[in-house]
Amino acid sequence: MSEVPRVPLLIDGQLVQSQTSEWRDVINPATQEVVARVPFATREELDRAVASAKAAFQTWRNSGQGTRMRVMLKLQELLRANTTKLAEMITREHGKTLPDAEGEVGRGLEVVEHACSIASLQLGEYAENAAGGIDVYTLIQPLGVCAGITAFNFPVMLPCFMFPIAVACGNTFVLKPSEQDPTSSLFLAQLALEAGLPPGVLNVVHGGPDIANAICDHTDIKAISFIGSTRVGTEIYRRASDAGKRCQAMMGAKNHCVILPDADPEVALNQLLGAAFGAAGQRCMAASVAVLVGEARNWLPDFVERAKKLKVNAGTDREADLGPLVSPQARKRVESLIQQGIEEGAKLLLDGRNPSIAGYEQGNFVGPTVFDGVTENMAVYKEEIFGPVLCVVGVDTLEEAVAFINRNPNGNGVALFTQDGGAARYFQNNIDVGQVGINIPIPVPVAWFSFTGSRGSKLGDLGPNGKQAVQFWTQTKTVTARWSAHGRTVNTTISMR
């Protein structure tokens, strides 16, 4: 039997083996095979990574925008060339299907492509003669050492939501990927070094809560981006904020998909299938609640029949619609919530527990599951299940649907299917959710627009991607200057925000 590989750290441009005594098995969720061992790095190793980033910042911050832009251009080329390899890593450690994993790499690539525009994104403003002989202008400057902490469900896309814009703006970065599927995140960072990032600009440390807390506490780290669960995100945001850092925390969700009776049922139901059950429901933008308005409730039996035909199998099967959950613990949690839904009175129309998957009997599989008659006091509605479970709620009007959704504490994503432009306009203006889809089931915006969850799904003013990301990873310095006719400085003041 071959030895299980140990996942290295990436510090100062070099892959190094951790000296920790604490290691965790990385499991293939379809087979329970141990495919790697990941270290829980020591505090000394984190300090080394931060020190490397701090030293690299002194030169990287002064590198030309063209230099940074060319690194991003090369990185997008390398991502394209290595999409298959990255997708295979994701599938082996996370479980999502290969087509889904390839799509994840594509969304990460989109962010890198956006970072290629840094020369126009990081522009200041200039006002000549704002007052007599006085010019005012702004400088958009990097912060210093920044960090990112990511969840398991998108091990390539989520790091791409963080470090490409951050380093393109002139910062240096320490990434802590999920310990459940770290290999693809590490390989992504290696590609960034191959693209031309100098040693120390991007470092990778692995670990659990102790390392995450140490990142929040570290005095040399200036800003932190987190994407993951509400419980962890709330603690990271509090801890980082208490330490005086900038922090953005994109957290949990309970996303709704509203279907009006005037919608095209073929389009709406097929789109809902993918949104509810794709990636086995393990995405923060999954449509986990269907709100059927009026006669659209009559389409539910048809939807259930379509859900029964979805194929559950290992992610390496390109015909599979959904693969396994990431861990046995995740499967047990989802199954427990399904049972709780039954006990609380929801009507189970399709039970995805204990599917028979030939050759993968030990896998963490749960098939498509559908509840009808769900109310807002039930656990299956209140909890983010993070599995292929759809809760169905019936209402009589669009206004009722909007009021129902706005009572939910989360505000990550929402969708509406309709052919009525007036209804769509009412919906987008009155719904209190950050990201709205109109005939789009998972409304994650393109990378040059910001990710804008709201309410209980987000802490911090600025989100990843788009203009908000540039604002988050930079500080604005305002210069007010007066010069004499012969070039002697008479008065200059500087303010920062």
Active site residues: 284
Consecutive H or E run containing 41: none
Q: Exposed/middle/buried for 478, CB within 10 Å: 0-12, 13-18, 19+?
A: middle
Do strands 246-250 and 458-459 pair parallel, antiparallel, or not at all (unpaired)? antiparallel
Side by side, the strands of the sheet bearing 389-395 are 347-350, 369-372, 389-395, 287-293, 255-259, 413-417, 435-438
Dihedral through CA 87, CA 90, CA 93, CA 98, nearest 10? -50
Residue 341 makes CB contacts below 8 A (sequence gap 6+) with: 348, 371, 374, 378, 379, 380, 389, 391
Q: Which residues pair with 224 in a beta bridge?
A: 147, 247
Residues 216, 212: Cα–Cα separation, whole Å: 6
Q: What is the phi/psi pair of residue 222, to 5°?
A: -100, -25
Residues 402, 184: Cα–Cα separation, whole Å: 39
Q: How many residues does the chain have?
A: 497
- Mind giving me the DSSP string for 431-478? ---SEEEES-SS-PPPTTS----EETTEESS--SSHHHHHHHTEEEEE
Residues 458, 230: Cα–Cα separation, whole Å: 9
Residues 37, 17: Cα–Cα separation, whole Å: 11
Residue 292: strand, helix, or coil: strand
- Mind giving me the DSSP string for 128-152? EEEETTEEEEEEEEE-SEEEEEE-S
CA distances from 131 to 135, 371, 492, 493 (A): 7, 66, 13, 14
Q: For the chain, how big is the Rg over CA atoms in Å?
A: 24
